[in-house]
Chain A
Amino acid sequence: MIKVQNLTKKFSGNTAVDDVSFEVERGEIIGFLGPNGAGKTTTMRMLTGFLHPTRGSIKIAGYDVMRNPLQVRRHIGYMPESCPLYAEMRVDEYLRFRAQIKEVPRRDVKTRLGVVKDQCGLTTVGRRIIGQLSKGFRQRVGLADSLLHDPDLLILDEPTAGLDPNQIREVRELIGWLAERHTLLLSTHILPEVEMACKRVLIIDRGKIVASDSPKSLQKRLLGDSLISADILGDASLITPFLKAVDGVDMVTSEPLEDGWSRFRIDSASPQIRTQIFECAVSNGWKLRELHMESRSLEDIFVAITRGDVTPEVKS
């Protein structure tokens, strides 16, 4: 669906995107992550043909973005960051205008408008002026706009930026629903969102793609397997040597809790180590009130990669 090769964009001597290559298959859901200023928006703008690349080529649905910009734009539904809209127009009026300039056939405009308004929960606000809508609703209008011509590929630049938690949840549900029908490339700062929806993440940092894999295998590859947390009653300095002696334990750290309890964090290659730890507690007569495996989130991966703690091999 998307084929990007050696994409570079320079702004007056400053390289925003540096020799980036990646591919996206039809039907994939890709999370595009990276710190602010890493080049996410620039890359997305080049994909939509809004910015011209300094070097490199982009093919979308088989069309070259530079040679067939109009064909490419017919296949893309794009929602820019901060979702700009004509504030003085009414929702219906705006969507009808967008449908017309997106070449939705005249006889289909009414049905498409109905469909996207239904999908995005806009049926009750059709007559409202966009400028008077809440941010959540405006975001939905932007999404509805990007869906009007039923594009194969949806590119959403921070669709949940600036929304409150309820609105984020709503938009996220909507995105999950869209993901079943379209190829989706979305950038965001809210990592649980990506973790839930995306099959693959692309992490970009300082203009370069630093990771491209599923959140699960990134986790496995970059952060080792498991971190086990155990709350045991007793003095940490006495307990730690016993825990370290358990077969398979790599490292043990501890912190004191209230009422004489201590929390131990145990690094191990195998998540099965929990049974041995339980047996160790039982044989020593310790009181154990909690034992669980902490899952490392995409957030940890993101921080680790973009801070340069780990350098993953890029697989594209």
Chain B
Amino acid sequence: MRSFLSLWRREFAALFLSPIAYVMLMFFLLVTGCGFYWLVKENQELTHSIQGLMVVIWSCMLIVLPILTMRTFAEERKNGTFETLMTAPICDTTVVAAKFAGVLSFFLLMCAPTPLYLLIIRWIAPETIGVLDAGTVLGGYLMIGLIASTFIALGILNSALTSNQIIAAISTFAVMSILFFGGLFEPHLSKTPLVREVGGYLSSALHLMESARGVFDTRSLVFYLSTTFFFLFATTKAVSTRR
């Protein structure tokens, strides 16, 4: 447990020491800020803005997560620190879990200021229609956390499979895009009902819209948790078979 905490702390701190993380933070705040401004201007109903904000955060993930996860293992491999890390008395699972927790906590920290947008809008414009329902907001953020977990686990897996950070980032981006857009364009995807149905199941956009509306589907919960565990398990295997 102590090794896990030390490793997690290092992963988390290492992100703050790399310029790319600051670029990502700035990009994220800029996009969500501008997006929210536009949403409020266009929508009279606050519930729509909440849904909209979730979608904006969701789209940012497509850029942010591949970039944040690409360095986890690829950089260690390239610099050779992988060797010192893997010859310390810690098991592979702890290393993978700590790297995952490090990136996830950084991403959650990145998202932390966004609920403030909702509070601020409520405060400066009390006349906006609709209620700020804690349930829908929490549901939305929980779903964001779940989606992020899956894609962070995927990013770490890709990073463990290569020593080239660019390849890791691009392959994560490619798989994420399929899951993102496949679901979003589900009606245009194919005429076969099966493909459309599968596309609908996998669509993180649809999951997110639903949960931000206040509907929390346990199927998506199971889907994200199981894929996260699967990717992390695969990462552990990838790390130990490359010995």
The yes or no answer to B133 lying at the interface (CB within 8 A) is no
Instruction: Name the one of A50, A85, A100, A102 contacting B86, with C-beta atoms under 8 angstroms.
Output: A50
Question: If the complex has contacts A84-B79, A84-B81, A86-B14, are A102 and B243 also in contact, measured as CB distance less than 8 A?
Answer: no
The yes or no answer to A263 lying at the interface (CB within 8 A) is no
Chain A CB within 10 Å — which of B82, B86, B91 has the most? Answer: B86
The reply to whether B89 and A102 form a contact with Cβ atoms under 8 Å apart is yes
The yes or no answer to A145 lying at the interface (CB within 8 A) is yes
The yes or no answer to B84 lying at the interface (CB within 8 A) is yes
The yes or no answer to A240 lying at the interface (CB within 8 A) is no
Q: Which of A44-75 contact B (CB under 8 A)?
A: 45, 48-52, 70-71, 73-74
Q: How far is A80 from B243 in the complex, measured between Cα atoms in Å?
A: 15
The reply to whether A101 and B83 form a contact with Cβ atoms under 8 Å apart is no
Q: Which of A98-118 contact B (CB under 8 A)?
A: 98, 100-103, 106
Count of chain A residues with a beta carbon within 8 Å of a chain B beta carbon: 28
The reply to whether B3 and A80 form a contact with Cβ atoms under 8 Å apart is no
Instruction: Name the one of B5, B9, B10, B83 contacting A45, with C-beta atoms under 8 angstroms.
Output: B83
Contacts of A78 in B (CB 8 A): 84, 87
Count of chain B residues with a beta carbon within 8 Å of a chain A beta carbon: 23
Contacts of B5 in A (CB 8 A): 100
Q: How far is A270 from B217 in the complex, measured between Cα atoms in Å?
A: 92
The yes or no answer to A123 lying at the interface (CB within 8 A) is no
The reply to whether B6 and A100 form a contact with Cβ atoms under 8 Å apart is yes
Instruction: Name the one of B2, B17, B87 contacting A73, with C-beta atoms under 8 angstroms.
Output: B87
The reply to whether B89 and A70 form a contact with Cβ atoms under 8 Å apart is yes
The reply to whether B2 and A100 form a contact with Cβ atoms under 8 Å apart is yes
The yes or no answer to B116 lying at the interface (CB within 8 A) is no
Instruction: Name the one of A70, A80, A98 contacting B91, with C-beta atoms under 8 angstroms.
Output: A70
The yes or no answer to A82 lying at the interface (CB within 8 A) is yes
Residue of B nearest to A76 (CB): B87
The reply to whether A49 and B87 form a contact with Cβ atoms under 8 Å apart is yes
Residue of B nearest to A78 (CB): B87
The yes or no answer to B147 lying at the interface (CB within 8 A) is no
Question: If the complex has contacts A50-B243, A103-B2, are A85 and B81 also in contact, measured as CB distance less than 8 A?
Answer: yes
Q: How far is A51 from B87 in the complex, measured between Cα atoms in Å?
A: 10
The reply to whether A80 and B80 form a contact with Cβ atoms under 8 Å apart is yes
Q: Mark B81-107, 1 if CB is under 8 A from A, else 0.
A: 111101111110000000000000000
Contacts of B86 in A (CB 8 A): 50
A75 to chain B minimum Cβ distance, whole angstroms, is 9
The yes or no answer to A247 lying at the interface (CB within 8 A) is no
Contacts of A242 in B (CB 8 A): none
Instruction: Name the one of A76, A80, A86, A98 contacting B83, with C-beta atoms under 8 angstroms.
Output: A80
The reply to whether B14 and A145 form a contact with Cβ atoms under 8 Å apart is no
A48 to chain B minimum Cβ distance, whole angstroms, is 4
- List 10 tightest A-B contacts by C-beta distance, closest first: A84-B80, A100-B6, A73-B89, A88-B17, A48-B87, A84-B81, A80-B83, A101-B3, A52-B243, A74-B89
Q: A85-B81, A97-B10 are in contact. List 7 more A-B contacts (CB 8 A).
A: A70-B89, A86-B10, A97-B9, A100-B6, A102-B88, A102-B89, A103-B3
Name 27 interchain pairs, CB-CB below 8 A, sorted by A. Answer: A45-B83, A48-B87, A50-B86, A50-B87, A50-B243, A52-B243, A70-B89, A70-B91, A73-B89, A74-B89, A78-B84, A80-B80, A80-B84, A80-B87, A84-B80, A84-B82, A84-B83, A85-B81, A86-B81, A88-B17, A88-B18, A98-B84, A100-B3, A100-B5, A101-B6, A102-B88, A102-B89
